[in-house]
């Protein structure tokens, strides 16, 4: 059902209104990732307070990833048939409330329940927001748009790590209260957001919208089979599965650096703050995602399948640098022992410049993440290119299942491997080896991108032809489906 603009104020749908919507949307994308990222840095302090093992808390992360993924399909299908704006507001209210309740939890069981409910709400944002982004952006700039959207998500994840590592170091519920309250605020602001018409950014449909018509095609249950079996979607799901096992393992990266700081001789509180900040700083190469999206757009304009080729090269090339960065020790790290936030943060930042060990790890990680940044924005842009406008929410829902399965396997299996190695390898070496093994899975992800080059070119052409035929149907005044 399309919402008419006739009874809206004059400014509704204006450029200023669309800009407001994009800003709120970016903040919303940041917050839900902040909610996801704030929990893992708190494993050590929450384990002590709740009387459980860190691997038990890692299990919660794995379960929430699975719940998020499974619910994303339902949210996505619902969004492909109805107003996506109200679904986003509802999903935000769910996860924000659940985050506040997590902060009030006094037992492991309560944390588990409220984090699973948080995942249900975030599942809505993961799938429904994707189709909205595609309707704001034409294909020629889709990689860049997806990179900016991904950058907002990555930035939110980074802030979540900081909030968890610093605010939660002495009082772990505080990050949950801050993020949950911010989510409720943004849900209110999104009430005034603009929802673009489905298919509005497609060049083949420009004449339809210029004539005052509405693209009113909606997904039907019978379409789900064709979405799942489309060759490009199959290869994209395999890419996501392999790559996110590797990404999922990196959930333990903050814990690795906490162990590295403890190895130098600092207590858990200082190590939690400095280790989380170091893990975040060593992932700053992700900011190259904007360049990767831009380059993917350019290559795609010259050659269909160009996005997949760029992602293939970057993903495979990142592996040796990522593994090398994990093995660099942090010798000579100098931090204030008092544990105050500002001095610890400043000393950690300065160490990247004055400590050759930290600097080496930073440079290697920067190269690794810069290369790997070619993956996510181009993967999302390909998914948009190869699926019809009314199928994109559902398609990303199925992709999210693959992502969730991979991330859950990566996070959960890494925790088990780390525990299994601990009798033989003392921390932090058990974390290093556990993380390094799973980074090798970027190689089969790159091979799947190679297979995707031809499949995505054919499926993109098929989508464009279908939209062109439908535009002809509109112009000829024939019945619409």
The CATH code that applies to domain 15-475 is 1.20.1250.20
Residue 19, classified by CB atoms within 10 Å of its CB into exposed (0-12), middle (13-18) or buried (19+), is exposed
For the cut 80, the answer to whether the pLDDT of residue 165 exceeds it is no
pLDDT band at residue 474 under the 50/70/90 scheme: low
The whole-number pLDDT of residue 215 equals 85
For the cut 80, the answer to whether the pLDDT of residue 306 exceeds it is yes
The residues spanned by each domain of the chain are 15-475
For the cut 70, the answer to whether the pLDDT of residue 324 exceeds it is yes
The whole-number pLDDT of residue 299 equals 94
In this predicted model, what pLDDT tens digit does every residue of 390-424 receive, in sequence order? Answer: 999 999 999 989 988 888 788 888 888 998 998 99
pLDDT band at residue 177 under the 50/70/90 scheme: very high
The whole-number pLDDT of residue 9 equals 67
For the cut 90, the answer to whether the pLDDT of residue 310 exceeds it is yes
In this predicted model, what pLDDT tens digit does every residue of 349-402 receive, in sequence order? Answer: 999 999 999 999 999 999 999 999 999 899 999 999 999 999 999 999 999 899
Write 26-29 long-range contacts (CB < 8 A, 24+).
26/148, 26/149, 26/152, 27/152, 27/186, 28/88, 28/92, 28/125, 28/129, 28/186, 28/190, 29/125, 29/129, 29/149, 29/152, 29/153, 29/156
Mean per-residue pLDDT, 325-341: 86
The whole-number pLDDT of residue 48 equals 87
For the cut 80, the answer to whether the pLDDT of residue 18 exceeds it is no
Angle CA(199)–CA(376)–CA(221) in degrees, nearest 5? Answer: 45
The whole-number pLDDT of residue 7 equals 55
The whole-number pLDDT of residue 456 equals 93
How far apart are alpha carbons 34 and 175 in whole angstroms?
10
For the cut 80, the answer to whether the pLDDT of residue 169 exceeds it is no
**Tokens standing for residue 430:** 């058990």
């Amino acid at each position: 059902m399309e919402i008419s603009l006739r009874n809206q104020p004059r400014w509704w749908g204006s450029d200023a209104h669309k800009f407001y919507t994009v800003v709120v949307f970016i903040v919303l994308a940041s917050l839900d990732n902040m909610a996801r990222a704030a929990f893992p840095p708190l494993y050590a302090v929450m384990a002590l307070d709740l009387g459980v093992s860190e691997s038990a808390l890692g299990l919660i992360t794995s379960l929430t990833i699975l719940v998020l993924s499974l619910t994303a399909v339902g949210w996505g299908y619902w969004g492909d048939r109805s107003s996506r704006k109200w679904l986003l507001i509802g999903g935000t209210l769910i996860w924000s409330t659940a985050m506040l309740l997590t902060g009030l939890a006094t037992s492991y069981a309560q944390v588990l329940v409220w984090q699973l409910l948080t995942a249900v709400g975030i599942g809505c944002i993961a799938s429904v927001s994707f189709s909205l982004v595609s309707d704001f952006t034409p294909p020629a700039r889709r990689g860049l748009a997806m990179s900016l959207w991904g950058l907002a998500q990555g930035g939110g994840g980074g802030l979540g790590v900081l909030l968890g590592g610093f605010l939660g170091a002495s009082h772990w519920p505080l990050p949950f209260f801050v993020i949950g309250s911010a989510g409720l605020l943004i849900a209110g602001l999104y009430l005034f957001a603009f929802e673009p018409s489905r298919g509005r950014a497609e060049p083949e449909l420009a004449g339809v919208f210029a004539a005052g018509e509405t693209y009113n095609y909606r997904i039907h249950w019978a379409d789900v089979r064709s979405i799942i079996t489309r060759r490009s979607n199959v290869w994209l799901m395999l890419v996501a599965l392999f790559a996110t096992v590797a990404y999922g393992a990196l959930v333990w990266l903050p814990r690795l650096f906490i162990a590295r700081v403890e190895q130098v001789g600092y207590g858990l509180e200082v190590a939690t703050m400095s280790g989380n900040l170091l893990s975040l700083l060593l992932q700053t190469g992700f900011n190259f995602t904007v360049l990767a999206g831009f380059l993917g757009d350019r290559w795609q304009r010259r050659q269909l399948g160009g996005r997949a080729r760029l992602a293939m090269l970057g993903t495979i090339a990142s592996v040796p640098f990522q593994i090398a960065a994990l093995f660099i020790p942090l010798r000579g790290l100098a931090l204030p022992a008092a544990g105050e936030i500002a001095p610890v943060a400043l000393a950690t930042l300065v160490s990247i410049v004055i400590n050759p060990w930290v600097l080496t790890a930073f440079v290697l990680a920067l190269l690794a993440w810069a290369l790997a940044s070619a993956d996510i924005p181009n993967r999302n842009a390909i998914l948009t290119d190869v699926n019809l406008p009314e199928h994109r929410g559902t398609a990303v829902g199925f992709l999210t299942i693959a992502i969730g399965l991979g991330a859950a396997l990566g996070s959960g299996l890494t925790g088990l491997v780390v525990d299994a190695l601990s009798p033989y390898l003392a921390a932090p070496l058990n974390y290093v080896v556990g993380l390094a093994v799973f980074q090798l899975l970027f190689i089969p992800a790159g091979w799947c991108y190679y297979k995707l080059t031809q499949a995505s070119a054919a499926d993109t052409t098929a989508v464009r032809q279908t939209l062109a035929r439908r535009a002809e149907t509109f112009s000829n005044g024939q019945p619409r489906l």
